């Protein structure tokens, strides 16, 4: 990170602290315009853990049964962000009993006492917007049984945070952080008595952000499916808040919701979860269905790419493919080198996955999760199809550079299914090679036929390939095609090394076969999942070989066995590190 960026971040934090102190002059509002309704749905299980004193934030578990939340020393900045964002309030409200309410009240008024006067890291626009929305959503839950002094302190703090948002939302990073800040400001302006003047400017700003950040196809620059869901949810909540006070939603926001809804539908698997690409997870259970239902946007046919992803679906099988270049510039700070990677889900069971985002497990896991070998695609000689730029040690702001520039795609109807063809030139600069991938999903959803080709597309590329061959001592350019498996899949290599059988918990058996070009193996892998203490152990199918000529072709199939006679020969696998 440059000195200029460091100075800019310091100035932003100074400004936040300044306005956080200035907001203390604001008077308390008298109450709500109407009774707020909770819009967020939390996790009952996670809420029970919080009640028991187990704080699991950003991958860190802190046992704090007798320690107040704000007295806990944060093990990381992400831990601090999670507790100051108050998303955990959704989980305590999901439990909803007396113990959960008492803990929520203690922590909310504890924040007011410890940080309400403008102190601490929680005074950032996105965290403040996130926090304000939760306080309003769960106000009935929080205010039950409190005395007049506590009630006044609650509304005084809401008034101060709303004023802070009105002055500092522009400092939020464009994208999800700015949507969070503006959505919090709009909902506070609509819900709090005497704050109506805050709502209209925020609504106009939110409409402008919809026009700037959400493209014509309903995508966002980061290409993160889970982040798109969060933006969509914020816009839907804001529309619902406007409707409750008898106001219409601005046209730009309405159009953005209509564009995003079909894109999200095309980014989810048969089990209802989102594809895990570019730092995104599967999404909170039920959040996507709830947001789509609230939007009122009806399903529609879609045969093109959605936010740069291709979707093949037949019967109960879905395949989602990253079919575009990685995000560029600031949007690439959480992007992955995943071009041409795919995921496959059969019914309610994920089969082929990507390792996922390792951000909650530290910088080393974060970097590993972003690399091409952590995705279900072809990797040349251990290189990623895009590399991370060099930045200051310990920084998380690492943009992807030198990635694929040309990613041609084509859909066509095949005799027995739908065929999708895609390629990228991410290895052309070093090896002179273009990776082309063809995927054909049968109409019954029982077989995915794949073909990976490494080829030199031009005379210049051939000369580069020749130089790479010389550097390899004419032994060929090594490649690996990886198929990462979900931890719930049991996989075993057959005795002849020609196939791998995979058993799902549903009882289905899938079989991987190839055309004997290269060596087939089953190797250890990891599944990186938010909300866990450690990565989960799993396996991956690896098809390895060497490119010796200007064109190398590898064919493979993933097919569902007709019955369970094709038994898994060895169902033993390493247990998850943490489950």
Q: Are 168 and 21 in contact (CB under 8 A)?
A: no
Asked if residue 163 has pLDDT above 70, the reply is yes
Percentage of residues in the chain having pLDDT higher than 70: 93
Looking at the domain assignment, is residue 179 inside a domain? no
Q: Residues 255-301: pLDDT tens digits?
A: 999 999 999 999 999 999 999 999 999 988 878 888 888 777 877 76
Given the structure tokens 């008077």, which residue do they identify?
A: 27
pLDDT of residue 302: 66
pLDDT digits over 556-567, tens only?
999 998 754 444
Report d(CA 79, CA 69) in Å as an integer.
Answer: 11
Q: What is the mean pLDDT of the chain?
A: 89
Domain assignment of residue 15, yes or no: no
Q: Please tell me the predicted confidence (pLDDT) of residue 391.
A: 52
User: Across the chain, which distance is largest between two alpha carbons, in Å?
Assistant: 81
Express each pLDDT in 351-383 by its tens digit: 999 999 998 888 899 999 999 999 999 999 999
Residue 435 within a domain: yes
The Cα-based distances of 196 to 26, 33, 253, 413 in angstroms read 15, 10, 19, 55
Residues 514-537: what's their mean pLDDT? 91
Domain membership flag for residue 120: no
Backbone angles phi, psi at 478, to 5 degrees: -70, 145
* Residue 498 falls inside a structural domain: yes
Q: Does the residue 445 lie in any domain?
A: yes
Q: Which domain holds residue 552?
A: 341-388+400-560
Over residues 57-74, the pLDDT tens digits come to 988 889 987 788 999 999
Report the alpha-carbon distance of residue 338 to residue 342 in Å, rounded.
9
Look at residue 351 and tell me if it is in a domain. yes
Give the per-residue pLDDT at 565. Answer: 44
Residue 421, pLDDT score: 97
Domain with residue 427: its CATH number is 2.70.98.70
CA-wise closest residue to 471 among 412, 433, 506, 431: 431
Structural domain count of the chain: 1
């Amino acid at each position: 990170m440059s000195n200029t960026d460091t100075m800019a971040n310091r100035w932003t934090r100074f400004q936040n602290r300044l306005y956080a102190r200035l907001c203390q002059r604001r008077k308390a509002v008298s109450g709500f315009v109407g009774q707020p309704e909770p819009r967020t749905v939390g996790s009952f299980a996670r809420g029970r853990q919080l009640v028991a004193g187990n704080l699991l934030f950003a991958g860190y578990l802190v046992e704090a049964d007798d320690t107040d939340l704000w007295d806990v020393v944060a093990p990381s900045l992400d831990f601090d962000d999670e507790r100051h964002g108050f998303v955990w309030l959704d989980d305590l409200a999901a439990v909803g009993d007396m113990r959960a309410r008492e803990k929520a009240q203690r922590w909310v008024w504890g924040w007011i006492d410890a940080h309400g006067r403008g102190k601490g890291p929680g005074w950032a626009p996105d965290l403040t917007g996130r926090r304000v929305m939760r306080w309003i959503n769960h106000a009935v839950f929080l205010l039950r049984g409190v005395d007049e002094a506590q009630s006044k302190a609650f509304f005084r703090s809401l008034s101060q945070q709303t004023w802070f948002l009105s002055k500092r939302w522009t400092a939020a990073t464009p994208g999800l952080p700015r949507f969070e800040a503006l959505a919090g400001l709009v909902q506070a302006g609509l819900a709090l008595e005497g704050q109506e003047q805050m709502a209209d400017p925020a609504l106009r700003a939110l409409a402008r952000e919809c026009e700037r950040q959400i493209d014509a196809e309903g995508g966002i620059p980061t290409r993160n499916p889970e982040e798109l869901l969060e933006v969509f949810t914020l816009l839907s909540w804001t529309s619902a808040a406007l409707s409750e006070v008898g106001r219409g939603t601005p046209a730009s926001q309405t159009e953005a919701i209509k564009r995003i809804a079909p894109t999200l539908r095309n980014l989810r698997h048969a089990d209802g979860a989102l594809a895990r690409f570019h730092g995104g997870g599967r999404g909170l259970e039920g959040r996507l269905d709830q947001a789509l239902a609230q939007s009122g946007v009806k399903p529609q046919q879609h045969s093109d790419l959605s936010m740069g992803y291709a979707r093949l679906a037949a019967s109960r099988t879905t395949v989602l493919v990253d079919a575009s270049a990685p995000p560029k510039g600031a949007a690439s700070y959480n992007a992955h080198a995943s071009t041409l990677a795919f995921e496959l889900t059969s019914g309610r069971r994920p089969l082929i996955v990507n390792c996922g985002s390792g951000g909650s497990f530290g910088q080393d896991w974060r970097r590993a999760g972003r690399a091409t070998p952590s995705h279900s695609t072809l990797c040349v000689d251990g290189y990623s199809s895009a590399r991370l730029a060099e930045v200051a040690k310990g920084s998380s702001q690492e943009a992807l550079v030198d990635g694929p520039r040309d990613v041609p795609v084509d859909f066509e109807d095949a005799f027995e299914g739908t065929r999708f063809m895609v390629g990228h030139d991410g290895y052309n600069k070093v090896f002179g090679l273009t990776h082309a991938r063809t995927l054909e999903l049968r109409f019954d959803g029982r077989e995915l036929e794949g073909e990976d080709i490494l080829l030199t597309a031009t005379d210049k590329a051939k000369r580069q390939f020749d130089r790479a061959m010389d550097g390899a001592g004419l032994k060929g350019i090594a490649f690996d095609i990886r198929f990462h498996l979900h931890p719930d899949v049991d996989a075993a290599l057959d005795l002849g090394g020609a196939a791998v059988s995979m058993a799902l918990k549903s009882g289905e058996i899938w079989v991987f076969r190839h055309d004997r070009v290269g060596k087939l193996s089953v190797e250890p892998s990891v599944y990186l999942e938010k909300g866990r203490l450690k990565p989960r152990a799993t396996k991956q199918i690896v098809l390895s070989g060497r490119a010796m000529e200007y064109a190398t072709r590898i064919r493979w199939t993933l097919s569902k066995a007709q019955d369970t006679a094709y038994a898994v020969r060895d169902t033993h696998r390493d247990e998850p590190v943490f489950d």
